[in-house]
Structures are given as structure tokens and as C-alpha cells.
Structure 1
């Protein structure tokens, strides 16, 4: 018999996937061929005699014989490639494909390398040390390794180099939410490349995803302060605090706002520890901290509540016009303002006027209705606050209040003057009457004597 041996072909396969070991030869005859697949130092994997009978090696028939197959449909084309389903780390090694074609024997060598990505611990918590390992069995000497995280190139700050003995390359990181997601390890060796991926789960606070996230609310409105942990996590001992201005670590001495409340446990999953303010006031603005314990580790998230309101100032009392100003307790992330005028007609329907740009907006007597100030950041709209105008007297409140106070004062003074005039008139009449009587003293004596005699007669009559 004459024989031939090809160069070794490199094949990478991710653990758990299907591996195809190539074996292609030019057939010299149409007679049935004999094919033998064997693994170095482990004997026969699969073989087919010229008679058509098939056999599996003992190590491949113990549990899953169907994990190895060689499709007959490709034999006529000289393709005798071996398929291995759900490859394992112990499947790695050197394979030989022997094709017997009459008196000719052809050997093809294939090196199967199994690649996988793993994590230690398999599920991490924020702040833990995590090891991300790329294992190749057997490890190709001189191979290059590239990492991607969520489809973006990733350059590890610390990387433990591999050796032929370890057969792995290890990345050491401190677990953060940015490390969560799909990790892919790409290993290249002389033109061949293998890839393996795995998903890293990092338990922590998902919303807000970072500290100092701003939450916007209008004065008088309700707002939700988010504190949502990873799905399935059961945080214990949750605590909410309002921090002192300028401090991220010392909670405020005073209590939380009066309208602060935790959501009912029955209305949300166990990993949601969000809270709410039913009616926001200007005094509620500031830093809030949510904390809870997960697997013995305390996790915290700090957020800032930004309160918005609309201030009004009179521009012209004659023209009954005012200026509306959109005010925020922290406008550092605001990039644009716009005003929207909403008018209710007699039928109850609403119509929206033109949109105006700017932080301030001047309105006149014809601009009755609702004005909404929307404020935007780099990522889009941040929030809005509204101001309702029923009539211009409502806008020029100081003017209307002053007029009503002056009117009341004038009416009060008028009534007091009238009472004084009546009292003076009565006093003048009494004085004039006494003056006329004093001019005739004898007449006054006669009048009094006559009156006394009349009273005496009336008393005597009553006695009789």
C-alpha cells in the first residue's frame, strides 16, 4: 500500500458547540472506501468498513454515541469530515482520519482545541474581585488573545499571561456594572481563530446606574426616587437618607420630607426599593441615599432631587404683561428650554400654540391658559413644569391686591366720617335747644311749676 499524510489542520470549537473535523480526499475509484477516525492515545472514535458497517469506539459509546457522526451524503464528493456534537474539554487533542481507497491509504491530521470563557465567582456582587478566564485546551504556543465586552474591544488593566501548562489567560477586575454583559475571547494561531463567549452577571443597583444621577420634579407634583436592584436579588435592611448639603456620607440630622414614603411591598418586586414624594416642595431638593445589604455586602446609591418652578414678575401694569421664568435648583445639566402654550376652549378641547425657545417667556392679556416650560439635556427631555393663567389679574396679583386694599380703606374712612357728622349734628341740635331756653329764665320757671302741679294732681287722683 502507498500512503500520504497531510499537514495538521487547526480547529477551534467553543465548549458545548458542534465541532467539524475536516477530512477531504480525491477518490481514485467508485468502490466503497474504508474510513477510520481515531484520537491520539485514545483509540478509535468512529469507523466504517467497506461493507458499510459502522462502529464507535468504546469511550464514545458509553453515554452518547450519537454525539459523533460522519454524514454518508458527502462521501461521493470525497468529504469524510467528522462531526462532534456538544464538544467537551476532554474531546480536545490530535485526531487522525484514515481513508482507504483500494490500495491507497491517506491520513489527515486535525488538532481540535476547545475554547471557553468562565468567571470566578460565577455571579459577582458590586465591589467583589472577579476573575475572567479564557481557557484553550490544548493551549497553542504563541497564540494571540483579544477580548471584547458587549461587542466593543476591551483592554484589560491587569492580565495574567498563559503558559502551556495552565492553558488559560486570566483577567482580574473589581466587579462593577460596566463589566456586566457578554464577554468574548478570540484566540488566533497561524491563521486559525477560535471564539468563546459567556455572560457575566453583576448584582447591584441597576437604577440609578451611577451615583449623582439627577431626578427632576416640579413643585407640587409627585416624584419617584428609583432604587432598583438586580432582578432576583433580595436586598435586606433597606434605608433611605437625605444627606447634608455638600456631604455625600453624613445623613441629614432632620427627618425625611413629610410627603416621603416607601412603596407598598405588595405592589412591586422584592428587588425594587424605590421611594416617592407625594407633593414636592422647594425644601425637598438635595441629595438622597438609598442603601441595602446584598449577600453580606452593603450597596448604596446617591441621587440628587432637582426641583423646578416658574417665577412671574410684572413687566408693565398698563399693558398687563408679565415675564415667566423657568427656575431649577440645579440647572448644570440643562442645555435648552422651550415654552408651550396650551389653551382650553369652551368645548373642553385643548389646542397648542407655537413653541418658544428660551428660559423666560413674556405673556400678555391675550395669553391666557396653561404655559409649560420643558427643559432638555444632552440625552433629551429632563422634565417640565407648568403655570396656569386664568386672567391677567391673576398675573398682576400685586396690582389687584393693592387696588382692593385701597378701596376697602376708602369705604371705611367714608363710613367713619359719616358717623362723626351725625354725632356732631345731634350735639349741635341739643346745644341750640338749651340756648333758646336759657334766654327766658322766667318762662323756664313757669314751665317747670306747671309741670310739677300737673304731676301732683295726677298722684292725688290716683289715691282717691
Structure 2
């Protein structure tokens, strides 16, 4: 092709009265290509325009009479893939548009514009770029390749790969000219691949999307999950949409085995998900009530097309440690089984109003918090929030009980209330005794009044005794 291009240009250059220019055009396969061509702006003569492709003959032609012709290879089922818009002719713009560019469209083109004796010719090299994938959705762990093809390939051109608009650095096995990237399919390869080609000050690019099938959540091994003691936590294991893994298994890995971890016993609160509304690709599980001993590494696995896919994750358990309280203060410390990803701690107080709604009041930064137990404002719920590089990782809460329970101190107001209660109780007791005595007297008199004769005898004897006593005194 370079030899054809050279001869094509040389013949044109030797023609008498011909002005010759060359242009490089890069375009992505499947898109529209515009091959530039402009005539002499000073000429008023209706021009004749001929577009040809090297070794392929006429592409499109327009005579001075206005008649147009199309090459047979550029028409398919009555639909023409090339056109030269008439609306631009007044501006002496005779650029050729090629729709749905194919790889075989690449090569040298010539635009000849004849204004009477003045002939202007433009040489355009159309280079078609295409990114090809061995599979648009390779299975995790399988071999994947991404190739960049340019037709015709420009010798001496530069090539660069980007993945999701970032320069891609191959880890292994790429061709020396970088046209092909060969990697093991992992989540690292997922995204938009773009091949950027530079040549003679021009740049072209083409893209393709690649999506690796497998366990998509968590997306990487070693993902840390954070949960507070006593709370529930979800252990995610989600496969790509549409995949139904067989033999799904959950394991808790024993500590100390990094390269060949050995499975241990799952926690008592472990519960595999079994909801009927859950997609078949979701094999997540959960712990209904986290304990400190539940921390560690977990592994989920499933089989697809005879290949076992696994994902490891780490559960980090958080709790608040309270120091022995003094008469005036207590210290709370935020404690995590693994704090390697924690960059900052923040303590907040959760304040509830009469309507039952809660508000958050930030108190201070730091892993520990000292609280004045003598203050009524210290009562209630406190939370420790811990953060990583990309935001909050989790939180754990602690409830402060009444101040007397914390400090063992009774306030003066409480003592006065107790004395008042005791005094009131004593007074009620005296009143009850008086009422009981009155009631007894009343009952006794009531029983005597039931026998009138007895009452007369009692009174007669009493009167006689009193009279005898008076007589004796007179003697």
C-alpha cells in the first residue's frame, strides 16, 4: 500500500497544471469519515469533481452539467454510503462523506477539482482504526486480549492504550509494538479501552467496551467490611447479571494461612441468604448479631463453566471500650480489630427531642473521648465514626446511663426529695394508728349497747360504789 500511495502521488504531481496536496485522516470503524477537498475560491466556473480510490476506480463524480455518478462498490441494496453535500458547493467545499466506514475503506483517495484549465487535486490517506476484543465478556481468570488495528498501518506511528481515560500499564505479555494487550481477565480490565494512534501531527482513536464476568461485588480480594458488636452485617457475594453459579460455598478462613488458607468454623449467627426475591446471581450471606470473635477473613465461591471463582473479604469488628469511671469522668475509646485503613475518628452525640427525632452534634476528633459524668448533658447515646481515604467506613455507639449510676453520687435535690417522702410516710402511719384506735372504741361501745339491762346494772353498781366512798369520807 505505501508503494501504491507513492506512485499515485507521483503521477498526479507530474500532470501539467495540477496543484497537489496530501492529508492524513484517521477514523474509527463504523463511524462517518469526512475526506476534505476544497476548490479554488476565486474561480466562478462551474467545476467538475471526481473522487477516486487507488486501485478501486471512481467513488463519486459530478460533471459540469450537474449529473452525478457513483461507483458500484459504494452502493448496497440501493443505499449509497458516500455523498458530497451540495449545500457546501457554494463555499467551494467538495468534501466526501463516507458513512459506516469499514476496514476495507482504508487507503489512498484522490479529489480532483477542474475549473477550466485549472486543476486542483487533493490526496487523502484514510486510515481506519478498530479495537478488537477476544471476547467482550471474558470469564474471570481466563485469557483476554485487546488488539488495535489500523488500515493501512502507518510506519513510524505511535500507539498508546488508555483504560477508562487513564493510561494503561500492561502487567505482562504485550506485543513489542503494543498493538495487542494480553492479560488474565480480572476486574482490572473492565471498562472502555481506547487505542490512540499518532502520526505526522495527526491523532486518531477507537474504543471498545470490555466487561469481565464473575464476582462483581466485592470487586477485589481483601475488601474490608466493618460492623459494630451486636449489629447485623451483610457478607456480599454477587456474580455478574445472568450468571447462576453452581455449588456456592461460604467459608471462614483460619488466621495465619495467607497463601493456602484453611477453612474454619462459621459463626453461630451466620445465615446464608435464601430469599425467593433474590436474583440467582446473588449468593450473599449475613451475620445476624456480630461478636468480637467473628472478625477475620471469609471466602465465597461458586462454579461457572467448570471453573471455580472465589472472592476473599475481611470482617473488621468495632466496639467501644469504657475505662473505670471516676467521680467526675469516664473515658471512651474506639477499638477496631483492624485499623490499618482508618485515617480519622470523630465522636458525636445523638440527641433526641420530645418528638422522638434525633440530631447529631459533633464533639471532637480522636480515638478517645473523655466525658464529664457530673453534667446532665452527658447522658444519652454517643457514637464513634471512623473514616478512611474515601469517606466513612462505619460507626459504633455507646449509651451513657444516669449520672448517679456512673459516679455513685446523690445530688442535694435528690436527698431533700427522699426526706420529704419519709416524713410523709410517717405522718400517714400515725393517722392510720389513730383511726384504728377510734374504730376499736366504736366497736366496743357498739357491742355494749346491744344489752340495755347489762348497761343498767353497770350504772347502778357504779353509783352505789361512789355513794359508799362519800359516806366513809364523812365519818
TM range (shorter): 0.7 to 0.9
Distance 1:345 1:92 in 2: 74
368, 380, 383: which one aligns with 1:372: 383
Q: Which residue of 2 aligns with 1:11?
A: 25
Contact 2:24 2:126 in 1 (8 A): yes
Q: Which residue of 2 aligns with 1:204?
A: 214
Query: How is 1:440-451 mapped onto 2 (pairs within 5 angstroms)?
Result: none
**What stretches of structure 1 of length at least 5 have no aligned partner?**
163-167, 398-464
TM-score w.r.t. length of structure 2: 0.76
Contact 2:235 2:285 in 1 (8 A): yes
Whether 1:338 and 2:346 are equivalent positions in the alignment is yes
Contact 2:131 2:148 in 1 (8 A): yes
* CA displacement at 1:89 relative to structure 2: 0.6
249, 252, 263: which one aligns with 1:239: 249
Cα deviation digits, residues 381-432 of structure 1 (max 9, x gap): 11111112232455469xxxxxxxxxxxxxxxxxxxxxxxxxxxxxxxxxxx
| Count of residues in Structure 1 that have an aligned counterpart in Structure 2 | 389
Q: Which residue of 1 aligns with 2:456?
A: none
Q: Go from structure 1 to structure 2 and tell me whether the alpha carbon gap of 1:44 and 1:245 turns closer, same or farther (over 3 Å shift).
A: same
TM-score w.r.t. length of structure 1: 0.78
Distance 1:23 1:335 in 2: 61
176, 179, 183: which one aligns with 1:173: 183
Distance 2:369 2:198 in 1: 63
Whether 1:194 and 2:204 are equivalent positions in the alignment is yes
Distance 1:64 1:171 in 2: 40
115, 126, 145: which one aligns with 2:129: 115
Give the stretch that moved more between structures: 14-23 or 141-150. Answer: 141-150
Cα deviation digits, residues 141-172 of structure 1 (max 9, x gap): 1111122121112243543245xxxxx92122
Contact 2:325 2:407 in 1 (8 A): no
Contact 1:70 1:80 in 2 (8 A): yes
RMSD: 2.3
Query: How is 1:172-321 mapped onto 2 (pairs within 5 angstroms)?
Result: 172-248=182-258, 249-254=260-265, 256-316=266-326, 319=327, 321=329
Whether 1:39 and 2:49 are equivalent positions in the alignment is no
Q: Which residue of 1 aligns with 2:337?
A: 329
**What stretches of structure 2 of length at least 5 have no aligned partner?**
1-14, 409-475
SS in 1 for 2:111: strand
Distance 1:182 1:45 in 2: 34
Contact 2:21 2:121 in 1 (8 A): no
Distance 1:188 1:159 in 2: 19
Cα deviation digits, residues 258-294 of structure 1 (max 9, x gap): 2212223433333222111111112211110011123
Contact 1:28 1:101 in 2 (8 A): no
Contact 1:56 1:65 in 2 (8 A): no
Q: Which residue of 2 aligns with 1:24?
A: 38
Distance 2:361 2:50 in 1: 82
Cα deviation digits, residues 61-80 of structure 1 (max 9, x gap): 23363321001122222211
Distance 2:98 2:342 in 1: 58
SS in 1 for 2:254: coil
Distance 2:243 2:34 in 1: 41
Q: Which residue of 1 aligns with 2:144?
A: 130
Q: Which residue of 2 aligns with 1:358?
A: 366
SS in 1 for 2:263: coil
Q: Go from structure 1 to structure 2 and tell me whether the alpha carbon gap of 1:303 and 1:314 turns closer, same or farther (over 3 Å shift).
A: same
Distance 1:3 1:388 in 2: 95
Q: Go from structure 1 to structure 2 and tell me whether the alpha carbon gap of 1:7 and 1:156 turns closer, same or farther (over 3 Å shift).
A: farther
Distance 1:212 1:250 in 2: 13
Q: Which residue of 2 aligns with 1:159?
A: 174
